[in-house]
């Protein structure tokens, strides 16, 4: 990057991501003392591995990166089909395992690839004007490509990640100039379909909904995790019980405490001060991403940024919401904070792309 590009970069999102990563490492350090800090050490390695990906995503012009999105999307589809033939882990076929210590989740990096590819598609469709997306056949083509990874991820099954894709797609369509009639028709279809779907759900799905609405109805099974999570967060009060001192965390009542319920660990041991700070940091990250989308120098940059904003928004809202009982548990990690290599690399690539788009958002300073 030239000096003018560096000066125009939205560095605040990088600062936010670093702060969240540090908080996550502190929480993991405390939560993994019983396992000799195994996941903490691995997460440190993933942080170091993520740095080159961050730099690469921030340095290469995003318009150049998008040119390879079609090939990347094809590879992603192959991987998402291939992962369906692997051995299930915790009931889902979402990971390729390489030995005992390394695994790769294609649906994670697939978020970025899908956003890049759909941004490319949208941009091509709108060469004659933004209103082109409202031509029904073009909208159907866009939705067809958007549905491909979502359908494969649902088959795994990984409904939480599938919903994250859907939120990003909705964000992208919303800023693409889509006619409000399509939005109203979609909302009407959801309202009509909801009771039909509910009445035809299998018994286990109905039980999950019942437990979500009333965790106390099944405290030893379906409602166990959410009840323990709420107990942990409540016990932390304002300043927390202290690192290594959380009862639910250290005695193993929270599970999995390093991924899905890392926010509960922070709430119990660091208190409302830490959880409130994390929430503010995520709000800054999402609003800055939306601002980058609004000020991007071209449509394709805007679509990428708003898609990434949708991913960060959903993960923040869903993970925090499920740990306090406002939303159902879906196994969605907390960006930069939860343990996970595929997730961490994907998040830092996303930050790199946002830095990339922000640095080039004014044509007057695009050339050195």
Task: Please write the tens of the pLDDT for every residue from 290-332.
Answer: 999 999 999 999 999 999 999 999 999 999 999 999 998 888 9
At 197, is the pLDDT very low, low, confident or very high (cuts 50, 70, 90)? confident
Q: Could you identify the residue written with the tokens 């990088």?
A: 14
Q: Could you identify the residue written with the tokens 């089909």?
A: 81
Domain positions in the chain are 3-365
Residue 274's φ and ψ, nearest 5 degrees, are -75, -45
pLDDT for res 2: 60
Report yes or no: 110 and 149 within 8 Å, Cβ to Cβ: yes
Look over the chain and give the mean of its residue pLDDT values, rounded to a whole number: 91
Is pLDDT above 60 for 353? Answer: yes
Is pLDDT above 80 for 99? Answer: no
Q: Across-strand partners of 104?
A: 96
Is pLDDT above 50 for 102? Answer: yes
Q: Is residue 118 exposed (0-12), middle (13-18) or buried (19+ Cβ within 10 Å)?
A: buried
Quick one: average pLDDT of 72-86?
Answer: 96
Report d(CA 83, CA 62) in Å as an integer: 28
Quick one: average pLDDT of 37-61?
Answer: 95
Percent of the chain beyond pLDDT 90?
Answer: 71
pLDDT for res 367: 33
DSSP assigned state of 135: S
Report d(CA 350, CA 83) in Å as an integer: 23
Is pLDDT above 60 for 35? Answer: yes
Residue 94: strand, helix, or coil = coil
Q: Could you identify the residue written with the tokens 């939005």?
A: 183
Q: Both tokens of residue 289?
A: 């991403």
- HSE-up (13 A, CA, CB side) for residue 28: 23
Report d(CA 118, CA 245) in Å as an integer: 46
At 212, is the pLDDT very low, low, confident or very high (cuts 50, 70, 90)? confident
Report yes or no: 24 and 43 within 8 Å, Cβ to Cβ: yes
pLDDT digits (tens, 9 = 90+) for 162-174: 999 999 999 999 9
pLDDT for res 204: 65
pTM value?
A: 0.93
């Amino acid at each position: 990057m030239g000096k003018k590009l560096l000066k125009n970069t939205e560095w605040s999102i990088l600062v936010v991501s670093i702060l969240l990563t540090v908080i996550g490492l502190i929480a993991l350090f405390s939560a993994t003392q019983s396992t000799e800090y195994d996941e903490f050490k691995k997460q440190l390695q993933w942080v170091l591995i993520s740095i080159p990906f961050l730099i690469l995503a921030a340095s290469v012009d995003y318009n150049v990166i998008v040119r390879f999105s079609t090939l990347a999307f094809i590879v992603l589809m192959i991987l998402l089909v291939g992962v369906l033939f692997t051995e299930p882990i915790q009931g889902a076929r979402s990971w390729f395992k390489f030995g005992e210590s390394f695994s790769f989740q294609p649906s994670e990096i697939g978020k970025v690839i899908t956003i890049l590819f759909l941004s490319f598609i949208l941009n091509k469709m709108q060469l004659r004007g933004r209103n082109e997306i409202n031509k029904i056949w073009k909208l159907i083509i866009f939705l067809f490509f958007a549905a491909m990874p979502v359908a494969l991820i649902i088959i795994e099954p990984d409904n939480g990640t599938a919903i994250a894709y859907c939120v990003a797609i909705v964000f992208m369509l919303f800023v693409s100039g889509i006619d409000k009639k399509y939005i109203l028709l979609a909302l009407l279809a959801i309202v009509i379909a909801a009771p039909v779907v509910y009445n035809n759900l299998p018994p286990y799905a109905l039980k999950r909904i019942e437990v979500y609405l009333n965790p106390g109805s099944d405290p030893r099974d379906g409602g166990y995790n959410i009840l323990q999570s709420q107990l942990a967060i409540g016990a932390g009060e304002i300043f927390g019980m202290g690192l290594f001192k959380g009862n639910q965390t250290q005695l193993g009542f929270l599970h999995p405490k390093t991924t899905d319920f890392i926010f509960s660990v922070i709430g119990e041991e660091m208190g409302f001060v830490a959880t409130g700070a994390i929430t503010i940091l995520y709000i800054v990250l999402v609003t800055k991403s939306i601002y980058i989308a609004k000020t991007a120098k071209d449509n394709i940059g805007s679509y990428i940024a708003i898609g990434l904003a949708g991913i960060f928004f959903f993960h923040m809202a869903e993970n925090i919401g499920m740990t306090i009982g406002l939303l159902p548990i879906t196994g969605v990690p907390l960006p930069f904070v939860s343990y996970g290599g595929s997730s961490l690399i994907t998040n830092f690539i996303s930050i790199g792309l946002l830095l990339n788009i922000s640095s080039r958002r004014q044509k007057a300073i695009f050339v050195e």
